[in-house]
Structure 1
Amino acid sequence: MATSTTQQSAKKKVPLFPLLSLLCFTSIFILLSQFRNTSSTSNTVHTFQIHHSSCDYSQGTWIHDPTITPTYDNTCKEIFKGWNCISANKSNALQLPTWRWKPNHCDLPRFDPVKFLRTHTHTSIGFVGDSLNRNMFVSLFCSLKSVSDGQVKKWRPAGADRGFTFLNYNLTIAYHRTNLLARYGRWSASDNRGALETLGFKEGYRVDVDVPESTWAQAPSFHDILIFNTGHWWWAPSKFDPVKSPMLFFKKGQPLIPPLHPDQGLDIVLKLMIQYVEDKARPGAVKFFRTQSPRHFEGGDWDQDGSCQRDWPLSAEQVEELFSVKNNGTNVEARLVNEHLFKALKGSGFVILDITHMSEFRADAHPASTGGKKHDDCMHWCLPGLTDTWNDLFIEHLNSINGRS
């Protein structure tokens, strides 16, 4: 009887096997599905962070740290004379490299030039822009040259104004000078009574919005890493007088009528040049666009006896007073230019290198009256100095991209 009962019990338990197996299989399937979904989400965030770092490096504080030593000194021959504030005996020149930018919610490490040389072999880096990008280019070159254990060959690849190759590493860095990105040159009225002549224009500057300047036109197909900038020359009435020598914009060889204001021309040039770079860039190239470098003229513009004689960074309140768009002061161009840059770069493949706000504090870091000009140079930066921090930021972004791609 007991045997019969046991057999009946066994018969009742057997159907549980497939049921348990089915439950286990279903649970495993659900867990795997959730893992795959989580993994997919993680990858999406991972790709997004390549272009938008989880840390906002633009917001922070300058900390004075006298223990900091620059990676190079004033003997670097590539430093333009007007930027060599140590040799020019600027009173605070030796203090400039002892300021460290501390973002609010993370750290910005100083880049290691030895490591950079070793990890960027067979690489070409191109700076494309005005003299402020040259300021940044010289900072990077001097840092690398100070630790290079081999020959450095000077050459100008792909139309560059300046260029060097570190032969032991096959690393090239070059600077391509361009003020507007687009090609431009003098224009004078002719006898054919064209559209501009009919409107009364007699002379000015022709800006071909769809044609890159020849100095950098080949750069996207040559360099593996590109850093662009433009801005100062678009707000330069001393160069492009709106009455005597205005910017006159052309597209496909024909003048754009009605004539555009410079800020409208900037929008078109940015759109077309960004597209040009993305079409011509090498596969896998990393493309940066640096935001506007602020000027620090106080008491008037450069031609109105404006000066920058401070020897200490500005406070947050002083920064807003000097740069707020609402105040429309002498140095308002920085934030105005950035409005155009952010709009044009939205949705592009460029990484934004935002150096503007951190630089707004540094009214102390310009050559000022030691720059060798008839007026204070409150636009360019002393070397060693602020643009070393720009390169820290550039290389931190670059490392982040290389580590996550």
Structure 2
Amino acid sequence: MKTLPMIPSIRGLLTGDRRGRHAVPRAASVPALLFFAVATFSVFFLRSFQWSPIFSFGSATCDPTRGQWVRDPDARPYYTNATCAFIEGYQNCMKHGKPSLEFLRWRWRPYGCGELERFDAARFFGLVRGRSILFVGDSLASSHVRSLVCVLSQVEKPARSRAGSFDHWRFPAHEFAVVFFWTPFQVRWRLTRGPPLAVGPDRQGEVFAGPSDLHLDEPDQRWTSAARDHDYVVVSASHWFARPAVYYRGGRAVGCHGCCVTGNVTALKPQYAQQAAFRTVLRTLAGMDGFRGTAILRTVAPTHYENGGWFDGGECTATQPTDPEDPAEVAEPEAEFYRAQVEEFKAAEQLARRNGVRLRLMDVTKIMLRRPDGHPDRYGHGPGEHDGFDIDCLHWCLPGPIDLWNELLIQILARG
């Protein structure tokens, strides 16, 4: 597992459409003493361990983040590039001739709780009728949106529209909408040598080159002002924090990464900025006036470059998940990004509960760590068509392993 590579350019992936809220129609028993003993042990003896989400699956209660990928030769993808028109070129491994489709023959099996149910679009629509979901993040968030829309489009073809910085897919027969807002940082930001406001995804190459100004204590009002109009908000972003940036607090530069250090501005690690940004974003959602919905944090999805990185011959040629017995570990700085996300989630959860906001964690980091076979590698483009990088071990094929995120999403929404 290599350290985090950088993306030279990812332009033109997605923009979006802003909208108002839809009208919203709104286990097994455990002996009390045993429950008290387990809870007491958890509080006093396990506080230093990683918090994990617990879901109910029928009569069992389990942690879906602990398990293994098992081969299913009869598995079929929820959609293909022939049945979904929303797959971007850089994700379209089928179109670009990925030589093995073995990566579609695996399913995630959590330990101790049987099979994780396949995504049921009819059930999902039943849960979300009259509601809307807003995804906020970078190109990986865009990939999650495309995955969800592709699955749902097998039941109802959505009407797509775009306005400002928002992309919008409406499913009128089910009174549901999916909205996407592109941002690599989620807090207020701008190109240091660019216009006074943040730019859109069409200028991602400039953002990559940087530096950018990140106001770590100020949420990006472009999307937070719209969040209360939605019933569900999914936030995620990590990789872009590794790019050059100047960090601000209270309107004053306090540090930077990958830039010249002058005056009172000191060199800071990107993990510092990522943790501060998520602290701002999660506490904003947890305490947002008028928002009584569900906010979901999706954790970082690791990259899988081997034998180099973006610029020096790195590749990801694996054709199956890693061996469950292999003690694979998340590399830095992604491991630090992950720890920071979980820490800030735990800190914001109590505030959310007091304010009537449901704050949930979609922990995908260690699940996706074991899927080095699910990236486009060199099959995210045709010959001579690559968009600034030739081999992609950051994004994921669609269809592909991240379709699991929808299976986790429906469990979170069903949990309430």
Scaled by the length of structure 1, what TM-score is found?
0.74
CA spacing shift, 1:302–1:50, aligned 2, 3 Å? closer
Residues 161, 215 of structure 1: 8 Å contact kept? no
Question: Of 166, 174, 187, which aligns to 1:182?
Answer: 187
Residues 96, 384 of structure 1: 8 Å contact kept? no
| Partners of 2:53 and 2:112 in 1: CA distance | 18
Q: Indicate yes or no: 2:168 matched with 1:163.
A: yes
Q: Indicate yes or no: 2:251 matched with 1:253.
A: yes
| Partners of 2:371 and 2:52 in 1: CA distance | 28
Residue type of the alignment partner of 1:358: I
Report the CA distance between 1:270 and its aligned residue: 1.5
Counterpart of 2:248 in 1: which secondary structure?
strand
Residue type of the alignment partner of 1:63: V
Residue type of the alignment partner of 1:250: Y
CA spacing shift, 1:171–1:214, aligned 2, 3 Å? same
CA spacing shift, 1:399–1:288, aligned 2, 3 Å? same
Counterpart of 1:217 in 2: which secondary structure?
helix
CA spacing shift, 1:64–1:386, aligned 2, 3 Å? same
| TM-superposition CA deviations, 1:30-55 (whole Å, max 9, x none) | xxxxxxx959x79xx8xx99964341
Report the CA distance between 1:278 and its aligned residue: 1.9
| Partners of 1:290 and 1:105 in 2: CA distance | 23
Residues 118, 407 of structure 2: 8 Å contact kept? yes
Structure 1 unaligned spans of 5+: 1-36, 190-202, 241-246, 325-330
Residues 133, 229 of structure 1: 8 Å contact kept? yes
Counterpart of 2:224 in 1: which secondary structure?
coil
Question: Of 81, 87, 90, which aligns to 1:74?
Answer: 81
Residues 235, 297 of structure 2: 8 Å contact kept? yes
| TM-superposition CA deviations, 1:175-225 (whole Å, max 9, x none) | 111101112223369xxxxxxxxxxxxx94211113333542323212101
User: What is the identity percentage for the equivalent residue pairs of Structure 1 and Structure 2?
Assistant: 26
| Partners of 1:249 and 1:303 in 2: CA distance | 27
Counterpart of 1:155 in 2: which secondary structure?
strand
Higher mean Cα deviation, 362-371 or 346-355? 346-355
Aligned counterpart, 2:47? none
Residue type of the alignment partner of 1:339: R
Aligned counterpart, 2:213? 206
The 5 Å alignment of 1:267-306 reads 267-280=275-288, 282-306=290-314
* RMSD across aligned positions (CA): 2.8
Aligned counterpart, 1:199? none
Aligned counterpart, 1:116? 124
Report the CA distance between 1:261 and its aligned residue: 3.2
Report the CA distance between 1:277 and its aligned residue: 1.6
| Partners of 1:299 and 1:399 in 2: CA distance | 42
The aligned length equals 328
| Partners of 2:408 and 2:364 in 1: CA distance | 8
Report the CA distance between 1:265 and its aligned residue: 2.0
The 5 Å alignment of 1:189-228 reads 204-228=211-235
| Partners of 1:165 and 1:120 in 2: CA distance | 12
Q: Indicate yes or no: 2:398 matched with 1:388.
A: no
Report the CA distance between 1:375 and its aligned residue: 2.3
Residue type of the alignment partner of 1:145: S
Q: Which has the higher contact order (CA 8 A, sep 6+)?
A: 2
Counterpart of 2:234 in 1: which secondary structure?
strand
Residue type of the alignment partner of 1:390: W
Residue type of the alignment partner of 1:84: N
Residues 178, 216 of structure 1: 8 Å contact kept? no
Question: Of 90, 93, 99, which aligns to 2:106?
Answer: 99
Higher mean Cα deviation, 163-172 or 248-257? 248-257
| Partners of 2:368 and 2:65 in 1: CA distance | 9
Report the CA distance between 1:61 and its aligned residue: 1.2
Report the CA distance between 1:343 and its aligned residue: 1.2
| Partners of 2:167 and 2:103 in 1: CA distance | 26
Aligned counterpart, 1:376? 391
